[in-house]
Chain A
Amino acid sequence: MSVQDFALAAEVAARRRWGATAALLALVVLLVLLSLGIGPVRLSPPAVIEALFGGGSDVAQVIVREIRLPRTILAFAIGGILGLSGAALQGLLRNPLASPSLFGAPQSAAFGAVLVIALGLADVRSYALPVVAIIAAFGSVFALLAIAGRNAGLLILILAGLAISSFAGAATALVMNLSSNPFVVLEIAFWLLGSLEDRSFQHVVLVLPFIIAGAAILLSQANAFRALTLGEEAAQSLGVDVGRLRLLVITGVALGVGGAVAVTGTIGFIGLVAPHLMRPLIGHDPARLLVPSALTGSALLLAADIAVRIIPSTSDIKVGVLTSIIGVPFFLYLIMRERRALGGGVA
């Protein structure tokens, strides 16, 4: 094998990955146009593009730019950060079942946000909400990794995640239980289901800085995830500061997930599903999975948010409900596939 052969093999693989990523990007663009066009007033993609850039009727402009654009941006950004967080956690823990929602991060962030709302500490559109949600998400992921310790097996991670999400759920229930205002309770209950409806540019401005910061942190660590393929010790011997990496990943995931939960409520399972959909196309390299997983997360949430608008039903289906309804069977399928590893116990 010569240097040329080696470089060629790498290039062929890279070209295939780029093809898949480009196709994915095209899909996301298509879904963005659909998301801007679908609703009580249906607009064709050309009409959407026209309205987006200031053409067409005033009504079409208002619908596209002021009502549907914020919702679409949020679906794109939040789906993306959820997919990215899932891929990053799977890379950090070298474990295909790792994901923010299985670890109780969104549930904990929701608890933080609910606490703020119920206590009337802040307006629903103030920065206090995402900040508290982020702190709660950070606490939950940090606690999980501390409990699980180094080189934790699937079983410990999932049990600890189950405990943390149950605890966050119970704490949320307690807050609702103690709340004296029934309207607040109802509002919280609906908000917890996770939705992108009626979101404005204020929400976009509120959450985008956190999502961008979280994404930047996670993407900057891509190559360290690759080195972790060899385990923590070997990665450290290659020059990766594993302790620092853990802290950065927890921070990135908390910023993204906490921020997202603060404006949409809990939307689960996108982080778990996205990297799995990409592995057959992109391969198993945890560094290369990050961007495609983010795009897949965006596509999934955009598609789910379009679906809740076109599924005929008497009341609105919340997008968070839909992602969980689809995500949980997928999770069961993964458990079945990983049965041997799980059956092997803690190893």
Chain B
Amino acid sequence: MTLLSATALNASLGSRKVLHDVSLSLEAGHLVALVGPNGAGKTTLLRALAGLIPSDGEIRIGGDALASLALRERAKRFAYLPQGHMVHWPLPAREIVALGRYPHGATDPARLSQKDIEAVLRAMQAVDVTEFSDRRVTELSGGERSRVALARVLAVEAPVILADEPTASLDPRHQIDVMQKLRNVADTGVLVVVVTHDLGLAARFADHVLVLSEGRLAAQGAPAEALSESVLASVFRVSAYRAEFQREAVIVPWADV
């Protein structure tokens, strides 16, 4: 069932046109990997889908036109995780996660309703951060902080999660851990869109891959098709080692072509 769709999406940053006629249709319960070389427009596409930047073309979310939704209503439908897990003030982890309830009117973490607290706890348990609930986020390690950021996004309990490079700057174990947790979330019926540079993670965890090249969708589909040899050669200019391990697809970019 289509949850999020875009038709003929165009977007510009300043005078530079970044997205050209992107059309896509994504389903609830899928983990979608958005891949592409640096500067392909991945972050711009993610922002446009969430309505954070203006774009031409139509975006529909759960049957409604995005343009017709107020800011607060958009905030309930899209949980957006920006790059870098930035936190500007050293607040305790639980208050950061509680910000996920902001779109639901719970703007003060000191005065949450029972329902909001339950949502926050569910989110913290899902990514295993309850143990450092009272620690300041600035004192956490990179891996821990990325999980707190993820918990904040989960606490929104939105039907769509858009995550911009959630695995960047994490060690291999935490990369796998974050992807596995997003996979679990998708399995509960949420549409999860993940920007990543790691083709291996994309091939292994995603149901659907979008390949963006110079602002256009160069390929999309199941990982095996979208990350085919010819796509990797034309878009990424690499060849890849391919295999299957423990019944999952393995892609390791190997040499330039």
Contact = CB atoms under 8 A, between A and B. Distances in A.
Interface string A2-25: 110011011101100000000000
Contacts of A283: 91
Interface in B25-82: 47, 50, 52, 71-72, 74-76, 78-82
Interface string A259-300: 000000000000000000000000111110000000000000
Given A239-B75, A283-B91, A230 B86 contact: yes
Nearest to B43: A233
Nearest to B102: A238
Given A3-B121, A287-B108, A237 B52 contact: yes
B80 A239 contact: no
A76 to B, nearest CB: 27
DSSP class of A's interface residues: helix, strand, loop or mixed? helix
A6 B120 contact: yes
Interface in A192-228: 223, 226-228
Interface of B: 47, 50, 52, 71-72, 74-76, 78-82, 86-92, 94-96, 99-100, 102-103, 107-112, 114, 117-118, 120-121, 124, 130, 133-134, 152, 156
Q: List the 8 shortest-distance A-B pairs measured between CB atoms, nearest first.
A: A239-B75, A237-B80, A94-B88, A223-B107, A284-B89, A238-B102, A239-B72, A231-B86
29 contacts: A1-B133, A3-B114, A3-B117, A6-B94, A6-B112, A7-B112, A10-B94, A13-B92, A13-B110, A223-B102, A223-B107, A223-B108, A227-B107, A229-B91, A229-B96, A229-B99, A230-B86, A230-B96, A230-B99, A230-B152, A231-B88, A234-B82, A236-B52, A237-B50, A237-B78, A238-B100, A239-B75, A239-B102, A283-B91
Interface of A: 1-3, 6-7, 9-11, 13-14, 94-95, 223, 226-231, 233-234, 236-241, 283-287
Given A6-B121, A237-B80, 12 more contacts: A3-B121, A14-B110, A227-B102, A227-B107, A230-B152, A234-B80, A234-B81, A238-B75, A238-B99, A238-B102, A238-B103, A239-B74
